[in-house]
A and B are shown apart, each in its own frame.
Chain A
Amino acid sequence: MTRAVTRRIGAAVFWLAVWQVAAFVVHRDFLLASPFQVAHTLGTLLPTGDFWVTVGWSLGRIALGFTGAAVIGSVLAVTSAAWPVAKALWEPAIAAIRSAPVVSFIILLLLWTDSSRLSIFTSLLMVLPVMYANVFQGIQHRDRALLEAASVFRVPFRRRIVAIDIPAIVPFLAAGCRVGVGLAWKSGVAAEVIGVADGSIGERLYEAKVFLSSTDLFAWTIVIVVLSVACERLVLRALRAVPGPRVGVAS
């Protein structure tokens, strides 16, 4: 076991101990459940089919929102880099989306659509500005000298995209994904809670609030964190498969 791993396990044990002591001091389950109670709840949740259906419900929609943001953000960034008119058009809208509070979107979207689609659009809107900004920055940071060489040698468009453009953009896209995945989960679940979306993780959190069950609240929060980290790893692994310099694509 390396020293870094030992240190990490030590830190986890320390915070679990702090949590346990705090729960002992508070001594009220509905205010602060202990780590053992949460672990027990997770243990009873995991083998049930209902749990996986709920996870699948939220995962599917939030992943869809994130993917939509990545695709739309990339397309908008490419058009912005290519045409100043497009940049002038998109940037105010992107700035507005970036600055507006997430609840404003959630309430507005509730007026337009039903709660089952709320997390898709909320996560999409929250992640879109991040993906747009990162991809645009990646395009701006392409190696000018290499692009000049490509133009002198008349390298065909598709080859240039694969050999020069994509490898330059991937590290920025990876950085955007790292932030974006967490943001998608946070905003998506918040939307599910506010919209009380039937069968979602957000609905379980809402029920935890209604029934004053901090055990369920902590258990589902841990599930969200694990799902968010797993999604992030998956996305970064996929990006590592793209040929190019590995800068910024963490292992």
Chain B
Amino acid sequence: MTTRPITLHAVSKRFGSQVVLDGLGLVFAPATVTALVGPNGVGKTTVARVLLGLERPDAGRLEGLVGLTKAAVFQEDRLCSHLDAVANVRLVLDRERRDEATAELARVGLAGGDLIKPVSELSGGQRRRVAIARALVVRADLVILDEPFTGLDAEAKPLVMEYVRERLEGRTAVLITHDPSEVEFLGARVVRLRKGPGLVV
């Protein structure tokens, strides 16, 4: 668990001719859920990818990320389709914690036969739950949640949201969402991104 804030200093990122981030300054408080909101194409996912180390900024500086362990619920599930739910969760767990996978999946409502079939045979909502359990079973310092509840049915969503809220307690997390109720439920601090240069939050 980190006690340091994570700071983006004047971060810029372009893809070809398209400028996605233009001198963005942003501070993520430790042990806090920060919600990035804003219209599509404003760079929310790019910020998340920069934080995860998947994109290198063209300009600017990152602070507070060195040595942090990270976990993410990506926009897509990104699961090994031929493996079952338990194997997908075990893939990210240390050897001594491998037995925790089944219990963790039970927390998001997956049990019995659903645990032992390839995830390609699960429904979209079930796969989403596996992806969420995989991200939160890891005791990561920084958790990125990119539209995590998309695809969940009305029955499963409250259970999963409660699970996420509990698991995020005391952790630094970034939530990307278009749904204000998710922001409110997780008690997130809201950062509204907009297009244009020099946004400092």
A→B interface (CB under 8 Å): 145-146, 148-155, 159, 163-164, 167, 243-245
A150 CA to B79 CA, complexed, in Å: 10
Q: Please pick, from A148, A151, A167, the residue contacting B80 in the complex, using a CB distance under 8 A.
A: A167
Q: Please pick, from B79, B82, B120, the residue contacting A243 in the complex, using a CB distance under 8 A.
A: B82
A153 touches B138 (CB 8 A): yes
B→A interface (CB under 8 Å): 52-54, 69-72, 74, 76, 78-83, 87, 91-92, 120, 134, 138
A-B contact pairs, 20 of them (CB 8 A): A145-B74, A145-B76, A145-B78, A146-B80, A148-B74, A148-B78, A150-B91, A152-B52, A152-B71, A152-B72, A153-B70, A153-B72, A153-B138, A154-B69, A155-B92, A159-B91, A163-B80, A163-B87, A167-B82, A245-B120
A153 CA to B79 CA, complexed, in Å: 12
Residues in A with CB closer than 8 Å to B70 are 152-153
Given contacts A148-B54, A159-B91, A163-B91, contact A153 B80 (CB under 8 A): no
Q: Please pick, from A149, A155, A245, the residue contacting B82 in the complex, using a CB distance under 8 A.
A: A245
A155 CA to B95 CA, complexed, in Å: 11
Residues in A with CB closer than 8 Å to B54 are 148, 151-152
B173 to chain A, nearest CB (A): 14
A244 touches B138 (CB 8 A): no
A146 touches B78 (CB 8 A): yes
Residues in A with CB closer than 8 Å to B72 are 149, 152-153
A129 CA to B68 CA, complexed, in Å: 44
A152 CA to B135 CA, complexed, in Å: 10
Name which residue of chain B comes closest to A145, CB basis: B78
A165 to chain B, nearest CB (A): 11
Name which residue of chain B comes closest to A146, CB basis: B78
B80 touches A164 (CB 8 A): yes
Residues in B with CB closer than 8 Å to A145 are 74, 76, 78
Residues in B with CB closer than 8 Å to A149 are 72, 74, 78
A161 to chain B, nearest CB (A): 12
Residues in B with CB closer than 8 Å to A152 are 52-54, 70-72
A153 CA to B53 CA, complexed, in Å: 11
Interface centre among A155, A159, A163, A164 (most CB of B within 10 A): A163
A153 CA to B136 CA, complexed, in Å: 11
B82 touches A153 (CB 8 A): no
A179 to chain B, nearest CB (A): 25
B91 touches A155 (CB 8 A): yes
B133 to chain A, nearest CB (A): 13
A151 CA to B78 CA, complexed, in Å: 12
Residues in B with CB closer than 8 Å to A153 are 70-72, 91-92, 134, 138
A27 to chain B, nearest CB (A): 58
Residues in B with CB closer than 8 Å to A164 are 80
A245 touches B81 (CB 8 A): yes
Given contacts A149-B72, A152-B71, A152-B72, contact A244 B92 (CB under 8 A): no
Apart from A163-B80, A163-B91, what are 19 other A-B pairs with CB-CB below 8 Å? A145-B74, A145-B76, A145-B78, A146-B79, A146-B80, A149-B72, A153-B70, A153-B71, A153-B72, A153-B134, A154-B69, A155-B91, A155-B92, A159-B91, A163-B83, A167-B80, A243-B82, A245-B81, A245-B82
